[in-house]
Structure 1
Amino acid sequence: MVLGGAKIRQWKQWETEIHKNNAGNGPKKLTNVQQFEFIRERFNGVGMESTVLSWMHSFVKQFYASVTKSDYATMRLGFIMTHCRGNPKFGFHRYMVRALEADFKKVVGIRWYLWIFVVIFMLLNVNGWHTYFWISFLPLILLLAVGTKLEHVIAQLAHDVAEKHSAIEGDLVVNPSDEHFWCGKPRVILYLIHFILFQNAFEIALFFWILTTYGFNSCIMDHVPFIVPRLVIGVVIQLLCSYSTLPLYAIVAQMGTFFNKEIFDEHIQQGLVGWAQKARMRTELSKDAAAAAAAGPTRHGASSRLEMLRRAAAMMQCRRSLPR
Structure 2
Amino acid sequence: MISSLRILALGLLIGGAALAQPANPDLFSRLTETERALLLATAGVGSPDAFRPAQLPPAMSFRLPNLPGQTLVGSVVQPGTTLIVVRTTATPEAAQVAAIKVLAQEGWRNQHDSAATQNVFQSNFGDGSVIRNSISQCKPGVPGVVTVHAIPTPQGTQVTYRYYSMEGFSVTCPANLEWTDPVQRNFYAPGRNLPSRDPLTELRAGGLVLPSLSAPSGGRVNSSGSSYGSEGPNGPYYITYAIVRAPQAPDAVLTHYLGTLRAQGWTPGTPKRSPEGEWTVSLTAQQGGEERRATFSLMPRPELGTTEGDIRLNRVDVQFAYGQKPNY
**Interval of TM-score (by shorter of Structure 1 and Structure 2):** under 0.3
Normalising by structure 1, what TM-score?
0.22
Q: Which has the higher strand share?
A: 2
**Quick one: higher RCO (CA 8 Å, sep 6+), 1 or 2?**
1
- Which structure has greater helix proportion? 1
